[in-house]
Amino acid sequence: MRICMVLPHFYPYVGGAEKMFYDLAVGLANRGHEVRVVAKRVDALHDGKVSFSGIDVWYCDWRELFGHPLPKRRDVEAHIRWCDIVHTSTFTPAHIVSVLAAKYGKPSVMTVHEVHGDKWYWVDNPLRASGFYLYETYVCRQPYDMYHAVSEATRKDFYRFIAGGRKEAFDVRRVYLANEMRPKETQAPKPIDLYEYFGIDRGKKVFLFYGRPGKTKGIYVYEEAILRLFRASAEASADTEFARALADTRFCFILGSEPAKLRRRFVERVKKNGMETFMPVRDSLDRERLSACILQADYVVVPSVTEGFGLSALEACQMGKRLIYSNAGSLPEVVYGEVLEFKNRDAADLAERLREVIQNGARAFTHIPEKKFTYDAMIGGIEELYMELMKKKKETGRHAG
């Protein structure tokens, strides 16, 4: 089968969606399919046609709107004409790929990573939120033969916010994303020392957040919860057992560079509140060093306001870390192991959960049995969708003849 993927970004661009499509493209190539990827240029080494890992990638010079690349018709048309099936994702490629797939009679799939719907109003001002909501609806209603939702929560949100009561008009399938992180041997040399990276003493307890500094990731909810703990501690006697434990706790942040404005604002807020010692912020790390930091942390916090799948949470669970997470979106579907849930967007509830952990350690967590999210299941699930569409195309062609 000849497969064309038209995507906003692709490897080595860092992100959950990019990781998913890289794993999918390579996995499909390993199963004997021909795979072409068309995406925005990344750097000097990933410009024009580049072949690696059994796939061919065309990196193109595309402009951006609000950080989202705008594919050019001339860059994708020949590849869609070449393929047996075309696969794209939200947001910006959706329209042009739909038009060209229809023009050349190609079966088409669009991956929907997340649907915000009225949740846009949770994270932006009403005017911008309305604009984003309208654009999201327009994108997700582009005519595709099949829509791929990355979780059951995303699938339900699609039908709730996009279908508009016309569920029969949209064939939305759920195929979970995959990750297979496993803790390395504890005796293996560490490529980075968490405590040195953050400049903290080894006796401190570490709560770790890692990811994008976007509002949907909940870092401002988390910040408010931390400040609540320190305000409550200051109002009480400084010599209480909890106050001493809090003083020996560090809430560490590994933040991506984008959105740059929100990252800068968060760092400025930390400084303004005089919390640099207790809330140290550091830059992103490559996968190996990030994994090493996760393994060394005592707890991982995923305070997302919205979440289409939750790769960060899954990584932490697969690495055996104790996890504190919001009940946003798909997170309850994904998490397992030693976990502690708090109410989405509720800083007071998160502060109480943090207090429980600081006071009680492992006893504060509950256990959820292991869940499996494998590459074979993801690649095989998408492959089955392709096969189903190809079969329908052949049957339609026979009847038409």
Residue 226 near residue 253, CB atoms below 8 Å? no
Q: How far apart are CA 36 and CA 30, in angstroms?
A: 13
Whether omega for the bond prior to residue 91 falls within 30 degrees of 0, making it cis, is: yes
What percentage of the chain reaches a pLDDT higher than 70? 96
CATH number of 2-178+375-400: 3.40.50.2000
For the segment 352-369, what is each residue's pLDDT rounded down to a tens digit? 999 999 999 999 999 999
| pLDDT for residue 149 | 97
| Class of domain 194-368 as given by CATH | alpha beta
Provide mean pLDDT across the span 159-172.
Answer: 89
Residue 184 confidence class, pLDDT cut points 50, 70, 90 = low
Pairing of strands 48-52, 322-326: unpaired
pLDDT above 50 (res 185): no
For the segment 96-114, what is each residue's pLDDT rounded down to a tens digit? 999 999 999 999 999 999 9
pLDDT above 80 (res 15): no
Provide mean pLDDT across the span 19-36.
Answer: 96
pLDDT above 50 (res 202): yes
What is the enclosing helix (H) or strand (E) of 145? none
Q: What is the DSSP string of 15-68?
A: SHHHHHHHHHHHHHHHTT-EEEEEEE--BTTBSEEEEETTEEEEEE---EETTE
Whole-structure pTM value = 0.90
Taking only Cα atoms into account, the Rg of the chain, rounded to an integer number of angstroms, comes to 23
For the segment 249-294, what is each residue's pLDDT rounded down to a tens digit? 999 999 988 788 899 999 999 999 999 999 999 998 888 899 999 9
What is the enclosing helix (H) or strand (E) of 259? none
| pLDDT for residue 401 | 36
Distances (CA, A) of 337 to 54, 78, 314, 317: 36, 47, 10, 6
Residue 129 confidence class, pLDDT cut points 50, 70, 90 = very high
Provide mean pLDDT across the span 115-144.
Answer: 95
Q: Residues 267, 272, 275, 279: what is their CA dihedral angle, to the nearest 10 degrees?
A: -10
Q: What is the DSSP string of 286-343?
A: -HHHHHHHHHH-SEEEE--SS-SS-HHHHHHHHTT-EEEEE--TTHHHH--EEEEEE-
| pLDDT for residue 186 | 45
| pLDDT for residue 241 | 87
Sign for the pseudo-dihedral over CA of 337, 343, 344, 349: negative
Least confident of 95-99, 155-159, 239-243: 239-243
Q: How far apart are CA 101 and CA 108, in angstroms?
A: 6
pLDDT above 70 (res 238): no
Q: How far apart are CA 362 and CA 133, in angstroms?
A: 41
pLDDT above 70 (res 189): no
Strand ranges, E, within 158-293: 172-174, 205-211, 249-255, 281-283
| pLDDT for residue 209 | 96
3-class DSSP state of 173:
strand
Instruction: Tell me the β-bridge partners of 299.
Output: 207, 322
Q: What is the DSSP letter of 169?
A: G
Pairing of strands 172-174, 205-211: unpaired
| pLDDT for residue 87 | 98
Provide mean pLDDT across the span 325-333.
Answer: 97
Q: How far apart are CA 192 and CA 373, in angstroms?
A: 28
| pLDDT for residue 399 | 42
For tokens 């299941």, the residue is 377
Distances (CA, A) of 200 to 217, 255, 286, 345: 25, 17, 21, 29
Higher pLDDT, 182 or 22: 22
Q: What is the DSSP letter of 189?
A: P
What is the enclosing helix (H) or strand (E) of 148? strand 146-149
Residue 336 near residue 368, CB atoms below 8 Å? yes
Ranges in the chain annotated CATH 3.40.50.2000 = 2-178+375-400, 194-368
pLDDT above 90 (res 182): no
| pLDDT for residue 188 | 56
